[in-house]
């Protein structure tokens, strides 16, 4: 998609923003191929986990387990219209993927092990998680990058904040910040019974982007 956008608007400078898993995708997109950074003015990542292994422990407990289940069920709904294409090719079973594991999955890890890890030839679900984060390649980014997390995020615990903190200390173009409250992509403002129509998420993102654009 980004390649098509860049080809359609070759003279445009772009801003890229990602939330949660999307934040990891943003960083990986920029870090995996430095040529992709040429058309990017700046990037923003909200509430991502950075490390595929360390950031997923909370998905096995409390509200994290419920979130894990709901994401898995929604993921399976997305897969449903494409089920035959994934698991049956030319009316024969595609043994490359584990249809039974995916069908019975109640956790993201089971989806990863039964399906996702096979896309890039990972040997196991553990191997997939170890390489799907951005911690090991984030240092390749050389455009302004804002990394934001909340300290009370029930899914992404503060014990992974050392990764963006270390990176931001080494890179003059990186900024890592945490908010005391906000949960996982909450950041509501106003009264609890009548929150504002915009959250700190939109406000801070736009303030950062506008500040960068003013100095380009």
pLDDT tens digits, one per residue of 126-169: 898 888 999 999 999 999 999 999 999 988 999 999 999 999 99
CA distance 185 to 168: 21
- Do residues 36 and 2 touch, judged by C-beta distance below 8 A? yes
CA distance 25 to 48: 9
39 is catalytic: no
- Choose, from 20, 45, 150, 205, the residue flagged as catalytic: 20
- Choose, from 150, 153, 168, 205, the residue flagged as catalytic: 153
CA distance 207 to 39: 20
Beta-strand pair 145-150/40-46? parallel
- Choose, from 51, 58, 168, 184, the residue flagged as catalytic: 184
pTM score, two decimals?
0.85
- Do residues 157 and 55 touch, judged by C-beta distance below 8 A? yes
Tell me the domains of the chain and their CATH numbers: 14-51+138-214 (3.40.50.1820), 60-131 (no CATH)
pLDDT band at 3 (very low <50, low <70, confident <90, very high): confident
124 is catalytic: no
Burial of 40 (0-12, 13-18, 19+ CB in 10 A): buried
Residue range 8-20, pLDDT digits in tens: 988 888 999 999 9
181 is catalytic: no
Q: Which helix (H) or strand (E) holds 18?
A: strand 14-19
């Amino acid at each position: 998609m980004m390649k098509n956008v860049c080809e359609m608007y070759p003279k445009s400078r772009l801003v890229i923003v990602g939330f949660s898993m999307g934040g990891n995708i943003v960083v990986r997109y920029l870090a995996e191929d430095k040529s992709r950074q040429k058309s990017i003015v700046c990037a923003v990542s909200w509430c991502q986990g950075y490390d595929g292994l360390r950031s997923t422990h909370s998905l096995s407990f409390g509200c994290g387990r419920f979130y894990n289940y709901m994401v898995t069920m929604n993921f399976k709904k997305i897969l449903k219209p494409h089920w035959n294409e994934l698991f049956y090719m030319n009316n024969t079973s595609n043994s490359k993927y584990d249809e039974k594991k995916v069908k019975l999955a109640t956790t993201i890890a089971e989806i990863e092990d039964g399906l996702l890890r096979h896309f890039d030839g990972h040997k196991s679900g553990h191997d997939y998680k170890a390489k799907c984060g951005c911690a090991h390649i984030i240092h390749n980014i050389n455009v302004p990058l804002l990394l934001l997390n909340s300290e009370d995020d029930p899914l992404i615990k503060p014990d992974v904040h050392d990764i963006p903190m270390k990176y931001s200390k080494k890179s003059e173009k990186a900024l890592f910040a945490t908010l005391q409250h906000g949960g996982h992509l909450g950041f509501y403002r106003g009264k609890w019974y009548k929150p504002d129509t915009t959250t700190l998420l939109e406000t801070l993102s736009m303030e950062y982007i506008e500040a960068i654009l003013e100095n380009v």
